[in-house]
Amino acid sequence: MTAPLVMVLLPAVAAFVGLLVGGASRPAAAAVAVAGPLAALVIAVSLVAQRPWDDPIVDTGFGGALQPLPSATVVDGLAITVALMVCTVATLVQVYSIGYMKHEPRYPSYSAFVSLFTAAMLAVVVAGDLVFLVIGWEVMGLCSYLLIGQNWEREEARQAAVKAFLVTKVGDIGFIIGVVVLIGATATTMIPQAVQAAAADPTVATVASGLILLGVLGKSAQFPFHDWLPDAMAGPSPVSALIHAATMVAAGVYVVARFYPMFLAAPGVLTVMAIIACLSMLGAAAIAVVQTDIKRVLAWSTVSQLAYMVAALAVGSRDAAVFHLLSHAFFKALLFLAAGAVIHSVGSSSLRDLGGLRRAMPVTFATMTIGLLALVGVFPLAGFFSKESVLIAAEHAANGDEVVAAWVGWMVLVVAIVTVTVTAMYAVRLWLLTWTGPRPSPAKGVHEVPPVMYLPLVALAVPTLLFGALALDADALPTWIKATATEPSVGAVALTPELVTIALSVIAVLVGAILGLRASRRQEPDLGRPFLANGLGVDTAYDWLVVRPFLFVVRWTTRFDRHVIGRAVAGVGSGTTGAAEQLQHNYRGDVQRYVSTALTALIVAVVIVLVTVAT
């Protein structure tokens, strides 16, 4: 067993130990909870010492001569970079949770689930084996379900938890089948080899990429699977920060990056990705403008920002996608934790109840402002550089330099710039409604959160401020995250900003800021509000297209089972007992029973005919 596997297992062990000791001692549970990701972070840092990544660290895990346990890991620059981010955010979130969940009776199980989630996310990041990847992928989904449902006394939380699990699971049908196809078509479960083999065969590449894309859209909350994410805000704020902003939702993007050569061999899939990304990017940003809940604004913003990453992948720039993934992870985790601090202090997440908090919560104010500036993409914060890199990638594609058609590049470029405006609009509105305006009455006792909560904010503000500097050296990040041995040719675009895109986005931000100022004056803007607030009507569509038909089928299957197949069996039973009375009863003509038996026979016959025809 080698270091990468230990890195994955330590938080899992922490989860187990935390559950065991948590009941007896809360401080012990907290200590274990923080120790898990921290220890993983130490290992991740030690792995960094082994770069440059001309050869990724490939390890077969618990190998054996026979069918080895699927725990092979591949650690290259991409994996280790994302792993560092995951461990950092997870550690800070665990620290923050000590304060945030102080009065939560179920803290031990809560922190254990967060630890288990961290392990699962790390498994996805370092997985070198397809099945290992699937394990991490699904366990993440489970933890997400458990943590959204943390306050399961509330109907809202129960509902949101089930919704999150099932919607992502629908996408995972595609993901699982995609993995099965990859294994079947390439005869290997090792990701680098499978990806390489699939990339060489356009048919396999298209089918597998398309299917895996479904799972990616589910996890990364992209259209039409985006609807679960805003509801997931029913979970505690630290969970939103870690799982529903920084890591799990980014895992979809990460997996595409991991499989990138295969996706590049399927331009059709990339085009679909671009269209979906544009829809999600602009649509979610527009919805964010009309939200009345601080966390829901951020949730829709996450959908929109993830779409930037998906778009970058679609136009051929993995580097830009990963760049934005990392910088978004820092500033969005910061924003959610800051929002959590506000909610913790005020006791409400509704924008109507907020306002004028600037003086009462100076640290939270300062850090959240930094986070929002990064989100909008203001120089020189991380978000500015990473968003610029996406725009540059789109511009390159528009010039016809990438595998996708030029119109795809143009589409992404235009939508991304318009979205910059809308992003500025909702960010400014959020900032104004939270921090400015009349001060809350002192009677409410609004105060700054304790250090255990604000120190993580400060810690996240540092990379939010400085991370963008990576882009100043055009080759720094691309060299760092490139994996020569596993991925022979991945299109690289310089990440340094260019004048045209800078000019465009500065104008976009200014326009958006002015609009945001206007929007914040009205508590409820009327921009097609019902439609937008309803998540572009997807909820209604789901209801009519999936939920209602499903319940209809359930109702009729249950009836069918009781009255048709069940009766047929009862008929067999009574026939076998040979009770004369029953026989007479039958002869008297129990039409329903005849019909039911005949119906079953008919279905069986139809199946047989269908199969015969099909084969």
Q: Which residues bind another protein (CB under 8 A)?
A: 62, 64, 66-69, 131, 134-135, 137-139, 142, 145, 149, 152-153, 155, 158, 161-162, 165-166, 169-170, 172-173, 176-177, 180-181, 183-184, 550, 553-555, 557-558, 561, 565-566, 568-570, 572-573, 576-577, 600, 603-604, 607-608, 610-611, 614-615
Which two structure tokens, joined as six digits, stand for 393?
């990638």
- What one-character DSSP code corresponds to residue 200? T
Kindly state the smallest distance separating residue 348's Cβ from another protein, in Å: 21
Kindly state the smallest distance separating residue 344's Cβ from another protein, in Å: 23
Tell the residue number behind the tokens 């007479």, with chain if given: 584
Nearest-angstrom CA–CA distance, 232 and 431 = 22
Kindly state the smallest distance separating residue 173's Cβ from another protein, in Å: 5
CB nearer another protein, residue 152 or residue 407: 152
Residue 66 and residue 46 in contact, taking contact as beta carbons nearer than 8 Å: no
CB nearer another protein, residue 29 or residue 335: 29
CB nearer another protein, residue 503 or residue 551: 551
Kindly state the smallest distance separating residue 65's Cβ from another protein, in Å: 10
Kindly state the smallest distance separating residue 214's Cβ from another protein, in Å: 11
Kindly state the smallest distance separating residue 176's Cβ from another protein, in Å: 6
Helix (H) or strand (E) holding 565: none
Residue 310 and residue 253 in contact, taking contact as beta carbons nearer than 8 Å: yes
Residue 462 and residue 367 in contact, taking contact as beta carbons nearer than 8 Å: no
Residue 36 and residue 10 in contact, taking contact as beta carbons nearer than 8 Å: yes
CB nearer another protein, residue 214 or residue 492: 214
Q: Is 491 helix (H, G, I), strand (E, B) or coil?
A: coil
Tell the residue number behind the tokens 């002869």, with chain if given: 587
Residue 524 and residue 290 in contact, taking contact as beta carbons nearer than 8 Å: yes
CB nearer another protein, residue 441 or residue 576: 576
Q: Is 129 helix (H, G, I), strand (E, B) or coil?
A: strand
Which two structure tokens, joined as six digits, stand for 254?
């990460």
CB nearer another protein, residue 47 or residue 205: 205
Which two structure tokens, joined as six digits, stand for 15?
């989860």
Which two structure tokens, joined as six digits, stand for 137?
């992928």
Kindly state the smallest distance separating residue 607's Cβ from another protein, in Å: 5
CB nearer another protein, residue 193 or residue 484: 193
Kindly state the smallest distance separating residue 268's Cβ from another protein, in Å: 20
State the SS3 of 295-323.
HHHHHHHHHHHHHHHHHHHHCCCHHHHHH
Kindly state the smallest distance separating residue 452's Cβ from another protein, in Å: 27
Residue 260 and residue 254 in contact, taking contact as beta carbons nearer than 8 Å: no
Residue 599 and residue 564 in contact, taking contact as beta carbons nearer than 8 Å: yes
CB-CB neighbours of 66 under 10 Å = 6
CB nearer another protein, residue 174 or residue 316: 174
Residue 588 and residue 580 in contact, taking contact as beta carbons nearer than 8 Å: no
CB nearer another protein, residue 155 or residue 526: 155
Kindly state the smallest distance separating residue 66's Cβ from another protein, in Å: 5
| 252 CB-near residues (< 8 Å, 6+ apart) | 215, 216, 217, 218, 219, 220, 222, 306, 310
CB nearer another protein, residue 9 or residue 275: 9
